[in-house]
Amino acid sequence: MTILARVETRGAHAARLLGGTAPLTRELVLGALRWQLTLDHLLAPFVRGGLAGLDGLVRAALRVGLFEAQRLDTPVPIAVAEAVRVARSLVPRAAGLVNAVLRRAVAADWPDPGDESLPLDVRFSHPAWLLERWVRLLGAERLRRALTANQTPAPLAVLAAATDVAALEREGCRFEPHPWVDGVLVVRDGAPAVATALAEGRAYAMDPTAVLAARCLPDVAGPVVDLAAAPGGKSLVLAHERPASVALAGDRHLGRVAMLRRTLRGAVANPLVFAGDAGRPPLRPGGFGAVLLDAPCSGTGTLRRHPEIRWRLDAAQVARLTVLQRELAAAATGLLAPGGVLLYATCSLEEEENAGVAASLRLEPVEIAGRLPAAVPRIELPHGGLVIPPTEWGDGFTVHVLRNPA
Ligand SMILES: C[S@@+](CC[C@H](N)C(=O)[O-])C[C@H]1O[C@@H](n2cnc3c(N)ncnc32)[C@H](O)[C@@H]1O
């Protein structure tokens, strides 16, 4: 509950705070964040004065207690008693309130996702402003699939080329090939052993759609630079699949540059990794056959892994991010040789962070739909970009490939 309260009140990242915690803690924290709007909808009638007036720890105790009672196999009285016990230890005066509210809320009906008489935000626990955008972008069927995926824990997937699969299988792990993305294995058994291998650098976890985004880079003449490269997933894919392509990979943040170096060490004999601001890249203008810019973004395609993003973000923040994205994309464009291509990608579905940025550049769209396996759902954008919506098989991404006509 302290983790949940820190995520809500201090802007902490849940996934970071959860490193090394027990699977049940993880499930409770991520579940309570994922279902926050629905949980609050069920709790609100029993809280005089409203949930917003409560101490953050008390709100967290109510959400976790109700999530555990309604959504996990824990017997209801045990889930309630545990929430009351933790509330008593953190905010002793609130234990009675947590007990009284939970005892009533556990009897409420969980909203049926298929019941169209209920508002979409209550059924799928997403903020209304985001749903309004996604209804327009995705249409009803893809939207429903995306929302369902966002409410389900993401399976762990690894990049086969960067994972000692045979050794892990000997340790009892079981993998299944990803249905759309060659070279990606979904972990079906043995997640703890895979987690150890990830920490030791014997495996590399990557979202399958991120692999597809890297593969959208066409073959080019001339060196390739990845400007916002850490932790290094896309550079790693390219290093394995097109060893001659990635010449340089950089990132602005020093700690993340160290991660990037670690990621590439096994794949590239002498990784040329640098620390630098992609807005002022320390590189020769006009010298590159391709530039990868996987830009810092709102992350609205990654809500199943980072459920808290939806509660922090608003349209004004999305608009503010585009200032940086346009600046980085313009600087990346300056590095392109004549005929060179920019791969501009984000794990955001939002129009202004993607098509809006692409349209601000004096570059020509390059067709990329043919680079994706046929089964991958996608929405084609006017400026040649593709949105890959979130599904049960991968995060959401938007990719543009643009050529310097000069
Ligand atoms: C979406 S992540 C990149 C993920 C990476 N391409 C991968 O596949 O693993 C965006 C990265 O941009 C970096 N970043 C943010 N602002 C930057 C800037 N001005 N210059 C360079 N890197 C920046 C962040 O540190 C972060 O590592």
- Per-residue pLDDT of 93-127, as tens digits, reads 999 999 999 999 999 999 999 999 999 999 999 99
* pLDDT > 80? residue 14: no
pLDDT of residue 19: 74
Whether 269 shows a pLDDT value over 80: the answer reads no
Q: Is the pLDDT of residue 305 over 90?
A: yes
Phi, psi of 21 (to 5 degrees): -85, 165
- Residue from 16, 235, 263, 294 whose mutation best tests the ligand 1 pocket (most atoms within 8 A of CB): 294
**Which ligand 1 atom is the nearest neighbour of the CA of 347?**
1
Question: What is the reported pLDDT for 114?
Answer: 95
Given a cut of 80, is residue 392 above it in pLDDT?
Answer: yes
- The CA-atom distances, in angstroms, between 266 and each of 162, 198, 237, 249, 260 are 8, 13, 12, 15, 11
pLDDT digits (tens, 9 = 90+) for 220-244: 988 999 999 999 999 999 999 988 7
- pLDDT for the residue numbered 12: 75
* Closest listed residue to residue 194, CA positions, set 203, 183, 185: 203
| Lowest-confidence pick of 79-83, 173-177, 239-243, 377-381 | 239-243
pLDDT in the model for residue 245: 75
Helix (H) / strand (E) element for 237: namely: helix 233-241
Q: What stretch(es) of the chain map to CATH 1.10.940.10? A: 2-105
Answer whether residue 349 shows pLDDT above 90.
yes
Question: Whats the size of the chain, residue-wise?
Answer: 406
What is the DSSP pairing of strand 379-380 with strand 386-388? Answer: antiparallel
Banded model confidence at residue 16, pLDDT cuts 50, 70, 90: confident
Distance 230 CA to ligand 1 centre (A): 6
Q: Which atom of ligand 1 is nearest to the CA of 226?
A: 6
Question: Stretch 272-292: mean pLDDT, rounded?
Answer: 95
Residue 170: pLDDT band (50, 70, 90) is: very high
| Mean pLDDT, residues 365-389 | 94
- Asked if residue 199 has pLDDT above 90, the reply is yes
Q: Is 299 in the pocket of ligand 1 (CB under 6 A)?
A: no
Question: Which tokens in the block code for residue 345?
Answer: 């990608």
Q: Which residue has its alpha carbon closest to ligand 1 atom 6?
A: 229
Of the two residues 348 and 265, the one the predictor is more confident about is: 348
In the predicted model, is pLDDT for residue 60 greater than 80? Answer: yes
Average pLDDT over residues 267-271: 76
Q: How far apart are the first and last CA of the chain?
A: 56
**How high does pLDDT run on average in the chain?**
94
Question: Which ranges in the chain are annotated with CATH 3.40.50.150?
Answer: 208-403
pLDDT of residue 10: 73
Tell me how far apart the alpha carbons of residues 241 and 89 are, in angstroms, rounded to a whole number. Answer: 53
φ, ψ for residue 225, nearest 5 deg:
-125, 140
- How many Cα atoms sit within 13 Å of 297 on the Cβ side? 27
Q: How many CA atoms lie within 13 A of 20 on its CB side?
A: 2
Neighbours of 172 (CB within 10 A): 10
Looking at residue 350, its pLDDT comes to 98
**pLDDT score at 9:** 72
Give this prediction's pTM.
Answer: 0.94
The SS3 assignment for 119 reads coil
Q: What is the CB neighbour count within 10 angstroms for residue 317?
A: 10
Give percent of the chain above pLDDT 70: 100
Is residue 21 scored above 80 in pLDDT? no
Decide which of 107 and 25 is more confident: 107
In the predicted structure, residue 207 carries a pLDDT above the cut 80 = yes
Q: How confident is the model at residue 17 (pLDDT cuts 50, 70, 90)?
A: confident
**Per-residue pLDDT for 174 more than 90?**
yes
Q: Give 177 Cα–ligand 1 centroid separation in angstroms.
A: 28
327 lines ligand 1 (CB under 6 A): no
Cβ atoms within 10 Å, residue 393: 22
Examine the pLDDT at 270 and tell me if it is beyond 80.
no
157 lines ligand 1 (CB under 6 A): no
278 lines ligand 1 (CB under 6 A): yes
Predicted local confidence at residue 15, as pLDDT? 77
pLDDT higher than threshold 80 for residue 332: yes
pLDDT at 238 (0 to 100): 93
Contact 118, 108 (CB under 8 A): no
Of the candidate CATH numbers 2.60.40.10, 3.30.460.90, 1.20.1260.10, 1.10.940.10, the domain formed by 2-105 belongs to 1.10.940.10
Query: So what CATH class is 208-403?
Result: alpha beta
Contact 402, 361 (CB under 8 A): yes
